[in-house]
Amino acid sequence: MILCIGEILADMIGSKREQSMRFDCFAGGAPFNVACGIAKLGCRAVFFGCVGNDAVGRFLREYADGVKGLQSRISVSPDRNTTLAFVTLSEEGERSFSFYRRHTADYALELSAVRPLLADADIVHLGSLMLSEEAGRRFAEEVCSAVKESGKRLSFDVNYREDIFASAEEARRIYSAWLERADILKLSDDEADLFFGEERERFLLRLSEGRKVFVTLGRRGARLYENGAFTERPTVPAATVDTTGAGDAFYAGALSRIDAGENDAGRLLLYANVCGAIATERYGATAALPSAEEVRERLNG
């Protein structure tokens, strides 16, 4: 089983009108997306997060309850609003984010509620949005200690969002420890540049000793660094309309295969690339996540 912990929020996808902009509400949040993706791929997934006592929070809880195969443990904060992410898309489907996140619920999390869920978990995947807040960082540290004590594998997706940190330097300082703590790690191409600069290959190869480090390369595909070496696979052709959640679909595919015992780097990357490609062909994040049957059809096509 894979336990995913962290933010669940509303992705407000914007579209321009002549004199206005319309926003449609979709369920989102990177660790929630990953949990939904794992469940849709037929693997056991549990999600733990928090929403506000508001209409959007009720929508998200109802949505989570309707995801087949997903066990959701979503608490409600009585004095916080649900986090919102306003997403705008370019003509090529690339997205930009602006967060409504002042005293919101995504990082109002308690370790006492997580501990009972750890026993059955093989992998614990931790979301990163909480790291922008002191309370969230304390919670993340507690989870990390509990995971290590229980002998589970810790997964971490950098998922850097410029909008929620004071500066890139602050983000680099906060994230640096987590790059070392994770047993399974995911970064985007841009994130690898941000955190490692010209020394990225040296750092990534060093980080890969004893762990798996995925780097998504956008239209170029992805790499998996392991034990001082890397494997790269090209992207899978797709009729892209919206890249929101593509990285989460990729990572759901990767984690589901790791949990199933797959160790071949090439097969891991191919499966994850197919998951990411299918997700770009539909709008939204969780709604675009592929099923196991869709992935099999694309692999066999």
- C-alpha 102/C-alpha 100 separation (Å) is 6
Give me the number of domains the chain comprises: 1
Average pLDDT over residues 163-167: 86
Q: How many helices (H) and strands (E) does the chain have?
A: 10, 13
pLDDT at 164 over 80: yes
Sign for the pseudo-dihedral over CA of 156, 160, 163, 165: positive
Written as six digits, the tokens of 87 are: 């997403």
- C-alpha 270/C-alpha 234 separation (Å) is 8
Average pLDDT over residues 144-167: 92
Q: How confident is the model at residue 226 (pLDDT cuts 50, 70, 90)?
A: very high
- Domain extent for 120: 2-15+23-300
Q: Which residue has the tokens 């810790």?
A: 154
Helix/strand/coil for 283: coil
Please give the full DSSP string across 130-195, using - where no structure is assigned: GGGSHHHHHHHHHHHHHHHHTTPEEEEE----GGGSS-HHHHHHHHHHHHHH-SEEEEEHHHHHHH
**Each residue's pLDDT tens digit, 69-118:** 999 999 999 999 999 988 776 655 556 667 888 889 999 999 999 999 99
- C-alpha 198/C-alpha 122 separation (Å) is 35
**Each residue's pLDDT tens digit, 171-195:** 999 998 899 999 999 999 999 999 8
Q: Which residue has the tokens 């409600």?
A: 76
The pLDDT of residue 92:
56
**Sequence-ordered list of residues with C-beta below 8 angstroms from that of 187, at least 6 positions apart, any chain:** 158, 195, 213, 214, 215, 216
Q: What number of other Cβ atoms are within 10 A of residue 268's Cβ?
A: 23
* CATH value at residue 243: 3.40.1190.20
Least Cα distance to 130 among 3, 7, 4, 2 occurs for 7
Task: Give the global pTM.
Answer: 0.92
Q: How confident is the model at residue 290 (pLDDT cuts 50, 70, 90)?
A: very high
- With 0-12 / 13-18 / 19 or more C-beta atoms within 10 angstroms meaning exposed / middle / buried, residue 258 is buried
- C-alpha 80/C-alpha 52 separation (Å) is 5
Contact call for residues 136 and 129 (beta carbons, < 8 A):
yes
- C-alpha 38/C-alpha 288 separation (Å) is 13
Average pLDDT over residues 25-36: 93
Contact call for residues 215 and 226 (beta carbons, < 8 A):
no
